[in-house]
Amino acid sequence: MSAAIVIEPRFRGPPESGNGGYVCGRIAVELGLPVAVRLLAPPPLATTLILREDPQRNRWQLLDGERAVAEARPAEVTPVPPVPPSYAEAVDASRRCTGLVHHPLPTCFVCGPQRAPGDGLRIFAGEVTGRAMVAAPWTPDESLADGAGRVRPEFLWSALDCPGFFAAPLGGALALLGELAVRIERPLPAGGPCVVVGWPVASEGRKHRTGTAVFGPGGELVACAEATWVALKQA
């Protein structure tokens, strides 16, 4: 199989490349399979990328010309998310989001404070008092919905990306998303108040594994994810 994917500038993470969660989600939607997506290079914006199968390795690659920018493999997401905080607790936690004070990528589609409401997701995950997790409120904009009013899967993947960064014990270091795998439990109607959480799982050197989850207006689990973040070497 092969398919063309274009990452529009709205869905950027860094200024010149796609948000990792969104790009991974677009790949997953094209494949229609439970996959883990590994990012190999910054996915360029406004460029026709080709998703191509490698049947001998049971993998799919997203290609920018001859260069692979991402690779997907079959995977299942198995973690059990923690009990979520209340919406009020998530609002309180978001006030402590470190990205509101200093953000390395302030125009990120998911967590950039310079993105306007209705344009970016504006998910600002901060520490939950007394718990080893971060949380943020999120009301998905109608522009994220399909024809039935449900948030499109690639935007659930997006929402599950950046809270993992804020959950990782990075000590102020910058990190990049290495790999993301998502399990979607149920559709999410746009426009309702949700809670997004992230928690640390394990760390080894510069690699940090985190979990993230989205809970719907009634506290029901909508989707969860496992991610690997790679801290950049300090200068």
Whether residue 1 is predicted with pLDDT greater than 90 in this model: the reply is no
Three-state SS annotation for the chain: CEEEEECCHHHECCCCEECHHHHHHHHHHHHCCCEEEEECCCCECCCEEEEEEECCCCEEEEEECCEEEEEEEECCCCCCCCCCCCHHHHHHHHCCCHHHCCCCCCCCCCCCCCCCECCECCCCCEECCCCCCEEEEECCCHHHECCCCEECHHHHHHHCCHHHHHHCCCCCCCEEEEEEEEEECCCCECCCCEEEEEEEEEEECCEEEEEEEEECCCCCEEEEEEEEEEECCCC
pLDDT in tens, 57-86: 999 999 999 999 999 999 999 888 999 999
Whether residue 235 is predicted with pLDDT greater than 70 in this model: the reply is no
Percent of the chain with pLDDT over 90: 92
Q: For position 18, what pLDDT does the model report?
A: 98
Q: Residue 225's pLDDT band (boundaries 50, 70, 90)?
A: very high
Q: For position 234, what pLDDT does the model report?
A: 67
pLDDT in tens, 157-202: 999 999 999 999 998 888 999 999 999 999 999 999 999 999 999 9
Mean pLDDT rounded to a whole number for the chain = 96
Percent of the chain with pLDDT over 70: 99
Domains and CATH numbers, the chain: 2-74 (3.10.129.10), 87-231 (3.10.129.10)
Instruction: Give the residue-averaged pLDDT of 77-106.
Output: 95
